[in-house]
Amino acid sequence: MANINEAFLNLEEDYLFSKVIEKMDEYKLKNLNAKIINLGIGDVTLPLAKTVIDAMNKATYEMASKENFKGYGPVQGYDFLIEKILKYEYEKRGVKFNKDEIFIASGTKGDLAGIAELFSTNSIVGIMEPVYPAYRDVNIMLGRKNIIYLKGTEENNFIPQIPKEHIDIIYLCSPNNPTGIVLNKEELTNWVDYAKKNNSVILFDSVYEAFIEDEDIPHSIYEIEGAKEVAIEFRSYSKLAGFTGVRSSFTVIPKKLKVQDFNSEKIELNSVWKRRQSTKFGAAPYITQRGAEAIYSEEGQKEIKENINYYKENARYMLEKLKKAGFTVYGGKNSPYIWLKTPNNMKSWNFFDKLLSEAGVVGTPGIGFGKTGEGYFRLTAFSSKEDTIDAINRITNMSSKE
Which residues lie near ligand PLP (CB under 6 A)?
A: 42, 107-109, 132, 173, 177, 205, 207, 236, 238, 244, 249
Output the smallest distance, CB 139 to ligand PLP, in A: 15
Closest distance to ligand PLP from the beta carbon of 368 (Å): 12
Q: How far is the CB of 238 from ligand PLP (least distance, A)?
A: 3
Can you state the percent helix, strand and coil of the chain, rounding each to 5?
45, 15, 40
- Name which of 284 and 322 has its Cβ closer to ligand PLP: 284
Nearer CB in complex with ligand PLP: 135/296 = 135
Q: From the CB of 352, what's the least distance to ligand PLP, in Å? A: 19
Contacts for 297-302: CB closer than 8 Å, 24+ residues apart: 297/51, 299/50, 299/51, 300/49, 300/51, 300/52, 300/241
Q: Between 206 and 360, name the residue whose CB sits nearer to ligand PLP.
A: 206
Residue 215 Cβ vs ligand PLP, minimum distance, rounded to whole Å = 23
In the complex, least distance from residue 148 CB atom to ligand PLP, rounded to whole angstroms: 19
For residues 184 and 244, which CB has a smaller minimum distance to ligand PLP in the complex? 244
Helix (H) or strand (E) holding 313: helix 298-324
Closest distance between ligand PLP and the C-beta of residue 44, in Å? 10
Q: Which is nearer to ligand PLP, 43 or 374 (CB)?
A: 43
Nearer to ligand PLP, 173 or 322 (CB): 173
Separation CA 234–CA 231 (nearest Å): 10
**CB-based contact 233:270 (threshold 8 Å):** no
Q: How far is the CB of 121 from ligand PLP (least distance, A)?
A: 23
User: For residues 199 and 187, what is the distance between their CA atoms, to the nearest angstrom?
Assistant: 18
Contact 63, 69 (CB under 8 A): yes
Decide whether 132 or 191 has the Cβ nearer to ligand PLP: 132
Cα dist from 253 to 16, 37, 157, 230, 233, whole Å = 29, 40, 30, 10, 7
User: Please, which residue, 250 or 349, has the CB nearer to ligand PLP?
Assistant: 250
Please, which residues bridge with residue 105 across strands? 249
Q: What is the 3-state secondary structure (H, E, C) of 251-275?
A: EECCCCCEEECCCCCEEEHHHHHHH
- Residues 6+ away with beta carbon under 8 Å from 279: none
Closest CA to 88 of 292, 336, 242, 310: 292
Residue 147 β-bridge partners: 125
* Residue with smaller CB distance to ligand PLP, 42 or 360: 42
Q: How far is the CB of 165 from ligand PLP (least distance, A)?
A: 25
End-to-end CA distance of the chain: 56
Burial-class residue 186 by CB neighbours within 10 Å (0-12, 13-18, 19+): exposed
